[in-house]
Amino acid sequence: MERMMDMMSEIRKLAHLEEAPYPFLSLYLNTKWDDEQQRERTRLFTKNQFRKVYHQFRDREDCLDSLTKDQQQIEKYVEGLIRHLYPEEMNGTAIFSCSGTGIFLTYPSIFSFKNEGFVSYLPVLRPLVQRSSQYQNALVVMVDTDSARLFEVSLEGRTTESSIKNYVPGRHDQGGWAQMRYQRHIKDHMDKHHKEVAEQLTELFDSGKWKRMVLIGQDRILANFKAFLPERVKMQISDSFSMDFTEERSKVLRRVFERLLQKEKEEINRQIEALREKTSQGGLATLGLNSTLEALNAGQIHTLYLLLSFSELGGKCRRCDSLLWSPQPGGTLLSCPFCKGEIKTIDLGEEMMKVVLCQDGEVKWVEENEILKEYEGLGAALRYRSSH
């Protein structure tokens, strides 16, 4: 099977980028087009983004060369999307460009983005992380008595598929002992087939790229197949259901993603419920802005949970990189309370997300959750708690 890029490691690389002296363009496109008008709207949206950027940097002659190259590269890539030069199953694309520092990156997605453009001195990652936090890479296996289809499914919009076909004898009309022997013969062939599929699946799973596994097949067939899976693999089966083996790939994947999304939401809600219990007992969890920021600045966060509606401005120290927040409406901090360094204004959600990613933590953007609503829209699971 062809290996796919690891989206999460790519996002972490972007989070590690240092602030550029040139404009950094982040463009998110909905490329789930049903007609030519929608394609034309994407072309116009891209051109309008550059009108805004040139207006914003009209007094920065040192940036014009970089912006011109950005425009050329981005418009050429978007034109390629519009003219069907890239895989059709891509429904969204994220583009990051800063020609002054030689960066031009594109990330396809099987899920659409809202058309949005950002210009900053760093990539804006929030829409990309929101999508990737809702879905985990998954191994999907459709199993029959003599056939199997293995899908490696990822957010990037590239889904590899392989098939395994083995001979299993058909029905036999004899009765008595001959029929029983023949049934055992069929069972031996099916076991051999299921063992081969299980070995291939285990080898893929042990590579560590997939966090979830989905099995598709009739109950009795799946029960026989699971007997050949090691316990460590069985523990990662997140879902199983029945579906016609001959169903086309797009329908199979749509059903898989619908079910995975629902299970991910349920799992995140359970995790946040656990945060509340741990917080009340002084455990490895925080809820609310101040305590979560304190844990973040100390490098303690394992998983950060943020409501999609979270929108706060904060400060970042130019000297020690601490993230800060003033509870006063419109409040500003004149200097860093830790090192007296100069403070710059930041989008707190974006910056907290990047810091956690740089510390190899996870970020979960949550559509709705009553517990997070009670605590300013965020909380965290911690790796450890400071002793002082």
Kindly list the averaged pLDDT for each block of 10 residues, start to end, along the chain of length 388: 60 91 94 85 94 90 92 94 74 92 89 92 94 81 90 68 61 50 72 92 85 91 95 92 87 86 91 95 94 96 97 93 78 81 93 96 94 97 81
Q: What is 297-356 written as a DSSP string?
A: HTT-EEEEEEETT---EEEEETTT--EE---STT---SS-TTT---EEEEEHHHHHHHHH
Q: Which residues contact 44 (CB under 8 A, 6 or more apart)?
A: none
Q: In degrees, to the nearest 5, what angle opens at C-alpha 43 toward C-alphas 42 and 44?
A: 90
pLDDT of 326? 77
Report DSSP letters for 180-248, one per residue.
HHHHHHHHHHHHHHHHHHHHHHHHHHTTS--SEEEEES-HHHHHHHHTTS-HHHHTTEEEEE---TT--
**Phi–psi pair at 24, nearest 5 degrees:** -115, 120
| Residue 3 DSSP symbol | P
CA neighbours within 13 Å on the CB side: how many for 144?
A: 15
Give the pLDDT of residue 205.
86
For residue 185, the model assigns a pLDDT of 60
Domains of the chain: 7-134 (3.30.960), 138-247 (3.30.420.60), 267-382 (3.30.1330.30)
| Confidence at residue 209, expressed as pLDDT on a 0 to 100 scale | 78
Q: d(Cα 88, Cα 36) in Å, to the nearest integer?
A: 14
- The predicted pLDDT at position 251 comes to 86
Instruction: Report the pLDDT value the prediction gives residue 156, as an integer from 0 to 100.
Output: 63
Q: For residue 69, give the 3-state DSSP assignment.
A: helix
Q: What's the rounded Cα separation, in Å, for the pair 23 and 45?
A: 19
pLDDT at 4: 44
Cα 92 from Cα 42, distance rounded (Å): 11
pLDDT for residue 175: 47
Whether this prediction's pTM lies above 0.95 is answered by: no
